[in-house]
Chains A and B, each alone.
Chain A
Amino acid sequence: EPEVTQTPSHQVTQMGQEVILRCVPISNHLYFYWYRQILGQKVEFLVSFYNNEISEKSEIFDDQFSVERPDGSNFTLKIRSTKLEDSAMYFCAGQRQRTTYEQYFGPGTRLTVT
């Protein structure tokens, strides 16, 4: 059964550095999402992406964040200058079409900013 994959599983970076988190969604999915979960807290929506552009973004998704789907398969989240408070689990999710309801989550990337 196809799965969403994410790399790396764990990323440690120094404050101020750029990180790129990668996701390979299920091939027939059209809608893509990034969520984050700070340890012990709720899952929070960051951004949604459809047809090669951002559909919606939350207040968390400020100018330090960007998303791309550079080659039709990978879906990336870039954080330009990481802060300590960016430490969290980052989940990528995909959805087949707008009228379906299930979002398939990847296993997540644990980002630790030191």
Chain B
Amino acid sequence: GQNIDQPTEMTATEGAIVQINCTYQTSGFNGLFWYQQHAGEAPTFLSYNVLDGLEEKGRFSSFLSRSKGYSYLLLKELQMKDSASYLCAVRDQTGANNLFFGTGTRLTVIP
């Protein structure tokens, strides 16, 4: 089975930095993904990690430790538009590369 855990809600201040953690226990592993989902909209891709370490992409960075089953998404210079749910997802190692999602972390950015 797949078990992916992330905090339900977080609040942070505009201009600040926030780290959203994700831990996973999965039967297979072929990459960890972070998606952003605004209310009522589709998930949009943010980042992908398959090897240990940090991937940086503008204001967003994502870290992976496979031995610990742990990842985090780091958002810098927070903007009001960053208020959204952030979904951690693991790609199963089976041939079809299906994504298994966590419940998401709802981030609220306050002025």
Q: Could you tell me which A residues sit within 8 Å of B by CB distance?
A: 31, 33, 35, 41-45, 48, 50, 55-56, 58, 91, 95, 98, 101-108
Contacts and interface: CB of A to CB of B under 8 A. Distances in A.
Nearest to A54: B96
Contacts of A107: 41-42
A43 B101 CA distance: 6
Interface of B: 31, 33, 41-45, 48, 50, 87, 89, 91, 94-104
Given A102-B48, A107-B41, A31 B101 contact: no
B43 A91 contact: yes
Given A31-B96, A56-B95, A101-B33, A106 B48 contact: no
Contacts of A35: 99
Contacts of A50: 96
A44 B94 CA distance: 16
Contacts of B104: 42-43
Contacts, number: 57
Contact of A56 (B45, B50, B98): B98
Interface centre among A31, A48, A95 (most CB of B within 10 A): A48
At the interface, is chain B mostly helix, strand, loop or mixed? loop
A101 to B, nearest CB: 5
Contacts of A103: 45, 99
Contacts of A41: 103
A42 B103 contact: yes
Contacts of B45: 102-104
Nearest to A44: B101
Contacts of B98: 33, 45, 48, 56, 58
Contacts of A95: 97
Given A101-B33, A107-B41, A107-B42, A43 B95 contact: no
Given A33-B98, A101-B31, A103-B45, 11 more contacts: A42-B104, A43-B43, A55-B96, A56-B98, A95-B97, A98-B95, A102-B45, A103-B99, A107-B41, A107-B42, A108-B42
